[in-house]
Amino acid sequence: MGRWVDKLSVNRWPSMKGKNGRDKARALYYSNTVNQPESTCMSAPDLSAAPAAPADSPAAAPAATLQSGPLAARPTMLSWSSGKDSAWALHQLQQDPSIDLRGLFCTVNQAFSRVAMHGVRLELLQQQAKALGLPLQVIDLPWPCSNEDYQTIMTEFVAGARAAGIACFAFGDLFLQDIRQYREAKLAESGITPIFPLWGRPTAELAREMIAGGLRAKLTCIDPKHMPLALAGHEFDAALLEALPAGVDPCGEYGEFHSFVYDGPMFRHPVALEVGEVVERDGFVFADFMVPAN
């Protein structure tokens, strides 16, 4: 796999700190996808619609609710990581008639053509979007990328999104309050409302719901400080949940692991995968997956 993993480190923005190292890894990954130029996606035709979080759900808080009047039928883009949380958020949005879902947006390391932290190849990401039947806006980030450059790129993206009529950005965040607050702060004066379809869901319950609901994913990145090396590349399934060490969040919300979703109820058809190498770089273990040659 060469040098690609070396440049997918999460120490680019040391100001984004969580409660511990796992929080920091998660925070820095998500800072890559908080604000993103959506110009291409947002002009795409509406391909699907979706249901809202229950009124008594934690996800029904003012900024996160899907069914409140101000958000009804508003054009929405989903922040896409290629992993299970964003995929399950997509599943919720697809069922919500108040959501006019326009497409996905995802930041990619331009030098190595990989999704940040997940390490997913660009061509596999593109195949994933095709299987979902949704437009994908890839936001290229240069390497190295200063915080100033990053903010410039994302500010332009948000402005383009609003100009194209996008009203909401949806995120697959689960419970890390600092990440949510960061997103809300960055979008506060943009005219775009952040929504959080999965917010506050107990993660053990949510993980089981995903698996029972037909979501299929592979672990593409693990933190070996918290996860056994053998779990890199493992299927996200009931056996994995049983194998997780004590203290590891079942959805990996602290950055213990990241995933690539290749099938589920949100897909039109599965994504074909070919297994590559497993390597350790910058304190993380990455399992590479590729589009099959044939």
Mean pLDDT, the chain, rounded, equals: 81
Q: Are the CB atoms for 28 and 11 separated by under 8 Å? A: yes
**Structure confidence at residue 25 (pLDDT):** 37
Q: Is the pLDDT of residue 64 over 90?
A: no
Asked whether residue 129 falls in the same domain as residue 108, the answer is: yes
Asked whether residue 271 falls in the same domain as residue 164, the answer is: no
Higher-confidence residue: 18 or 214? 214
Asked whether residue 175 falls in the same domain as residue 216, the answer is: no
CATH number for the domain spanning 174: value is: 3.40.50.620
The verdict on residue 200 lying in a domain is no
**Average pLDDT score over residue span 113-122:** 92
Asked whether residue 140 falls in the same domain as residue 177, the answer is: yes
State the total domains in the chain.
2
Rg for the chain (alpha carbons), in Å? 17
Q: Is the pLDDT of residue 72 over 80?
A: no
Asked whether residue 63 falls in the same domain as residue 144, the answer is: yes
Asked whether residue 184 falls in the same domain as residue 81, the answer is: yes
Domain membership of residue 228 as a residue range: 205-290
From CA 87, how far away is CA 76, in angstroms rounded?
15
Cα 103 versus chain centre, distance: 13
Asked whether residue 121 falls in the same domain as residue 50, the answer is: yes
Q: Is the pLDDT of residue 8 over 70?
A: no
Asked whether residue 70 falls in the same domain as residue 167, the answer is: yes
CB atoms within 10 A of CB 97: 12
Pick from 195, 224, 252: which residue ends a domain?
195
Asked whether residue 93 falls in the same domain as residue 23, the answer is: yes
Asked whether residue 104 falls in the same domain as residue 189, the answer is: yes
From CA 68, how far away is CA 53, in angstroms rounded?
10
Taking only the tens place, the pLDDT of each residue in 122-156 is 999 999 999 999 999 999 999 888 999 999 999 99
Pick from 156, 175, 195: which residue ends a domain?
195
Asked whether residue 49 falls in the same domain as residue 185, the answer is: yes
**Structure confidence at residue 138 (pLDDT):** 95
Pick from 195, 230, 263: which residue ends a domain?
195
Asked whether residue 115 falls in the same domain as residue 23, the answer is: yes
